Chain A
Amino acid sequence: MGMIHLTPWDLALAALLVLLLALMSWRLHLGVERRILIAAARSTVQLMLVGLVLKVLFAQTSLPLIGLMAMVMLSAAGFEVMQRQKRRYRGIWGYGIGAFSMFLSSFTVTVLALNLVIGVEPWYQPQYLIPLLGMLLGNTMNGVAIALENLTRQAWESRGRIEARLLAGGTWEQAIGDIRRDALRSGLIPIVNAMGSAGLVSLPGMMTGQILAGSPPLEAAKYQLLIMFLISGGTGLGSVAAVWLGSRRLFDERQRLRLDRLRTV
């Protein structure tokens, strides 16, 4: 079965739906028509550009270029995580905790998967590396953002309880322990839910894409499984790192709770 190429005309037809949605928003006074159109335009431009960039990248297999692309993806993800926080760490930490934990988890898992599971030669072949890394970053980003948001919100609200434990002679780890566990759990829930409902409720996006592009469904399913396992590992690792770094940063060397290291946006 070959791949059916989409013409600009096909896409324009689909885009009509978005126009319809914007029209509806305008008629019903929802007030989001501008944002719908801008978001649609943004995704068009961004995806087309990425398509072009990847085309160039795939043609070369040059490690520096691929590394550059990976860094761009990572810094965008780090920025996104920071944007989603209502209470951010002051200074470099606001960006650094999220970006570093994603770097740690996504890059390790991607490199491991390329070398040990997929086994492509050379391991940094962009056709495999970039999509894999993108999937991992995108999902780890969700987990890390949710876990961090949960950690800082709860610490902010539970100042009295945390300090009560410190005053009882507890260490900072005892004082923040249950909040930390809770934050971590909340970061892991989305991927656990996604694994539980995969295939029954929805076909995951990557698998759908592969099937539409002409792959045999069973092959697509196997790839999807691989991705899901990698994602859950990556999300777990990333959330653990973010929550550990984040909670450590909430206390100083005298084990005082330092909420002044957060700022509300």
Chain B
Amino acid sequence: MASLRLSGLRHRLLEPVELSLESGELAFVSGPSGSGKSLLLRAIADLDPHEGEAWIGDQARSSMPAPVWRRRVGFLPAESFWWADRVGEHLPPAEPALKDWLERLGFGPETLDWSIARLSTGERQRLSLVRLLAQRPEVLLLDEPTANLDPNNRDRVESLIEGYRQDASASLLWVSHDPDQRRRLDGRSLLIRDGRLEPESWA
């Protein structure tokens, strides 16, 4: 399975980033709000113009069409958006793990018929994770995927993500403000300070 490598990647708030994640490796990114964490993920997903290059395994981002890159390097924005009316229209029905994923987040199969307009923020956030996993990404870029969730649902989301990481040996870059979460899930910790991405030192 593929790993993620960034070289000279920069946006307007950030010095060039050199970063390499093994396949199946988890790294947290933290930093004060407005420090450019989300912009970094947007840049990796190639949503904004920026400099630098990224690789998945040994394939450069510039060597593949942007839609292919975005499917393989899945980005979960902090706020989820939906384009059709019902939940099911956003998910591939042929995905074998779909039912299991929904169940592990506390949703029954009838969820697929739910109208998007009636979902709560937390439901949207959890379902958007299922939507992301259903595109079978090899790398996951997560922007505070548990921000609006109660502890129970937060645990469910964490365990689902962990399960996917191990099954698919996917590399994860996870923006999280919660020090407990970063300790709970065993991963590298990175910090954006003064426009630089650096390893976080535990005081």
* A→B interface (CB under 8 Å): 160-161, 163-171, 178, 252, 254-258
The reply to whether A169 and B67 form a contact with Cβ atoms under 8 Å apart is yes
Contacts of A254 in B (CB 8 A): 46, 66
Contact B46 A256 (CB under 8 A): yes
Chain B interface residue number, banded: 20 to 34
Question: CA–CA, A167 to B81, complex, Å?
Answer: 11
Question: What string of 1s and 0s marks CB contacts (under 8 Å) between B75-86 and chain A?
Answer: 101011111000
Contact A167 B49 (CB under 8 A): no
A165 touches B83 (CB 8 A): yes
**What's the dominant secondary structure at chain B's contact region?**
loop
Contact of B135 (CB < 8 Å), options: A161, A168, A171: A168
CB-CB under 8 A from B46, the residues of chain A are 254, 256
> Given A252-B49, A256-B48, are A164 and B66 neighbors across the interface (CB < 8 Å)?
no
Contact yes or no, A168 B71, CB < 8 A? yes
Say yes or no for B185: interface residue by CB 8 A criterion.
no
Complex Cα–Cα for A163 and B131 (A): 14
**A164 contacts B82, CB within 8 Å?**
yes
Say whether B131 contacts A168, CB under 8 Å: yes
Q: B15 CB to closest chain A CB, in angstroms?
A: 22
Beyond A167-B75, A168-B71, whether A161 also contacts B81 by CB under 8 A is yes
Tell whether A169 pairs with B81 under 8 Å between CB atoms, given A254-B46, A255-B66.
no
Contact bitstring B149-161, A, C-beta under 8 A = 1, else 0: 0000000000000
Bound-state Cα–Cα, A166 to B66, Å: 9
- Are A171 and B83 in touch, CB under 8 angstroms? no
| Chain B residues in 8 Å Cβ range of A165 | 83
Taking a contact as CB atoms under 8 Å apart, the answer to whether B79 and A160 are in contact is: yes
CA distance A255 to B48 in the complex (A): 10
Contact B82 A166 (CB under 8 A): no
Chain B residues near A252 (CB-CB < 8 A)? 49
Enumerate chain B residues within 8 angstroms of A255, measured Cβ to Cβ: 65-67
Cβ contact within 8 Å between A256 and B131:
no
Q: Shortest Cβ distance from B168 into chain A, in angstroms?
A: 16
Residue B70 is within 8 A (CB to CB) of chain A in the complex: yes
Would you give the shortest CB distance from B143 to chain A, in whole angstroms? 11
Chain A residues closer than 8 Å to B79, beta-carbon distance: 160
Within 76-98 of B, Cβ neighbours of A (below 8 Å) are at 77, 79-83, 90
User: Which residues does chain A contribute within 8 Å of B82, judged by CB atoms?
Assistant: 161, 164
Known A-B contacts A254-B66, A256-B48; the reply to A167 vs B83 at CB < 8 A is: no
| A166, B77: Cα distance in complex, Å | 12
Docked pose: A158 CA to B137 CA in angstroms: 25
- Are A164 and B83 in contact, with the CB atoms below 8 A? yes
Q: Which 10 A-B pairs have the closest CB atoms?
A: A169-B71, A160-B81, A164-B81, A255-B66, A254-B66, A161-B81, A169-B67, A161-B83, A167-B75, A171-B67
Docked pose: A160 CA to B76 CA in angstroms:
12
Closest chain B residue to A252 by CB distance?
Answer: B49
User: Besides A168-B90, A256-B47, 6 other CB < 8 A contacts?
Assistant: A161-B82, A166-B67, A168-B70, A169-B70, A254-B46, A256-B46
With A and B bound together, what is the CA distance between A168 and B131 in angstroms?
8
How many angstroms between the C-alpha atoms of A256 and B48 in the bound complex?
6
Among A163, A164, A170, the residue within 8 A (CB) of B67 is: A170
Q: Does A167 lie within 8 Å of B68, measured CB to CB?
A: no
Min C-beta distance of A218 to chain B, whole Å: 50
A162–B153 CA distance with the chains assembled, in angstroms: 28
Give B121 Cβ to nearest chain A Cβ, in Å. Answer: 14
